[in-house]
Amino acid sequence: MDQGRRDFLQHSARLGAFALASATLWRIDPALAQSGSGRELATMSIVELSHLLASRKITSRQLVEQALAAIKDPQGEGLRTFLSVHESEALAAADRVDARRRGGAMLPALAGIPISIKDLFDEAGVTTLGGSKVLVGTPAATRDSIVVERLKKAGAVIIGRTNCVEFAYSGLGINPHYGTPKNAFDRATGRIPGGSSSGAAVSVTDGMAAGAIGTDTGGSIRIPSALNGLVGFKPTARRVPLDGVLPLSFTLDSAGPIAKTVADCALLDQVLAAEARSVPAPAHLRGLRFAVPKTVFQNDLSPAVADAFTAALGRLSAAGATVVELPMAEFAQAAAVNPRGALTSAEAYWWHRQWMKDGADKYDPRVIVRIRPGETITAANYIELMKLREQFIRTINAAASGYDAMLMPTTPDTAPTIAEASKDDETYARLNLRMLRNPAIVNLFDGCALSVPCQEPGTAPVGMMIAGTQNTDRRILAIGLAVEHVVWKRRGCSWLVS
C-alpha cells in the first residue's frame, strides 16, 4: 500500500472515531444536518463538517459564504464580534482547498474549515491591536504567529480576527472601544459574553466560524465557553508556542481552542500543538476517580451553578465514575501566590510601560487600573511570588495524585447582564474577580483544563471544569470526550436563537 493511501485511511479512521465519539454529543435537527441546508456551519461540529467536505457533499466556499453571511447579518453580532474580516482572502483560500479536493488530494481534517482567531495573534501584513486603540497605526506584523502558521498548514481558513477585552485583561468580555458582543443566551436581555476571548466564543455560537482560537491567562478561553454553552480547552502553557502572540503574562499565558464539542477541541489542539500522535480516544468512565475540591471552588456558588454542577456529578457517579468530594485545603494558598493579581500585573506592566507612558489616555480605564500596580512591584517581590508559585505547583501535584482529574464549576455565576457589569467600577471589579476566581487557579498550578457544558436544556449555560496537572493534556481530552456525553446529554441548539 502506498504512503498516500495509508495516510488517507489513517485520516478517515481518526475522523470516524471522532464521529463515533461525538455522535450522541451534538444532536442536531436532521433537517438542518442535510447538506445544502445553508446552516451547516451554525449547527454542525468541525468533525461533522470535515466529513461533509471530504465526501464533497459541501464545499469550503459554501461554508465561508455561510460565515460571511452570519457576520454581515444586520440583526446579528458580527460588527461587535470581529475587528477584521478576511473576506477575499478566506474565499480564495476556500477555493484553493476545493480545487485540491476536486483533484483527488487527501487533505487534513481541518482543510476548508472556517476558523476565527483572537486579535492577539500576529498575521503577516496585519496590525495586531489586542482589542485596543493604543496600537492603532503601529506597524503590521511581518510574519504569521506560529499558531496561524500551523492552522494554515492544516488547511484551515482564517475567517477573521475576533474582538476581545482590551489586552485580554478581564474575564467579563466588555470592550468600550469596539463594542461588546452579546452572549448567545438570552440575547434580548443582553448578557456578557465572558472574556477575554469574547468574540471567539460568539463567532462559534452564531455560525461565523466552526471553531475559534483564543488565549487563556486566568480563564479567558474557559469563561466565555462556559457562559455561552461551548467547550473550551486551556492547554498546559508550554504546549502551544506563543511566538507572535501579544502577551499579558508570559508566565501564565496559554493559547487554545473554543468549539462546539470536546472532539473539535481535541482536533484543533492536535494542530496547535503540532502533536504527531493521533487524537486521544475517549476514556472509559467506569473506574475513573475524580477529585471534587470544595475549598475556594465551591464557595458562594449561585443556585443555578450549584444545582447544575451537583446534578452533573450525580450523572457521573451513576455512569460508574468514582466522585470524591473533599476539602483539598491546599487551594486556599492560591490567594498568596497571586495576591490581587500581582504576578499578572507585574508582567503586564513590563510590556505596557512604554505604551502607558505615551498614551495612557487611550486605554480602557478598567484595564489600565489593573496594570498600574505592576509598576510598584520590586524584583524581590516578583521573585518571591515566583518561588511561592513553584511550591504551589508541587503542592497541588501531590494533592491531585491518585485522581484521574479534578472537577469544579468553571465560574461561580452564570452570565450577568452587560448593563449590570458596566454599571460602575465597583460592580465591574467584583463581577470580574468572581468570573476569574475558579479558572485562574488552574493557570497558577500550571495545569490544563476543559470547560464542558452541564446545564439543563433551555437554562443559562453552566460550565464544568475538568482539570489536570501540567502535561496531562491528552488524558484530560480523553476524559472530556467521555464526561461530555454524560453531563450534557441533550445538546439542543434552540437557545442559540436570539
d(CA 454, CA 28): 18
Annotated active-site residue in 116, 196, 254, 422: 196
Whole-Å CA distances, 31 to 35, 48, 121 = 9, 15, 37
Annotated active-site residue in 22, 60, 116, 118: 118
Q: Please, what's the largest Cα pairwise distance for the chain? A: 67
Q: Are 230 and 205 in contact (CB under 8 A)?
A: yes
Annotated active-site residue in 203, 220, 225, 249: 220
Q: Are 368 and 345 in contact (CB under 8 A)?
A: no
DSSP classification of residue 417: B
| Catalytic residue flag (residue 55) | no
Question: What DSSP line would sit under 419-484, residue for residue?
Answer: HHHHS-HHHHHHHHHHHHHHHHHHHHTT-EEEEEE-SPTTS---EEEEEE-TT-HHHHHHHHHHHH
Residue 22 preceded by cis peptide, ω within 30: no
| Catalytic residue flag (residue 489) | no
What the block records as the C-alpha cell of 273 is: 500543538
| Catalytic residue flag (residue 196) | yes
Q: Are 244 and 471 in contact (CB under 8 A)?
A: no
Question: What DSSP line would sit under 336-358, residue for residue?
Answer: HHSGGGHHHHHHHHHHHHHHHHH
d(CA 385, CA 473): 26
Question: Catalytic residue numbers?
Answer: 118, 196, 220
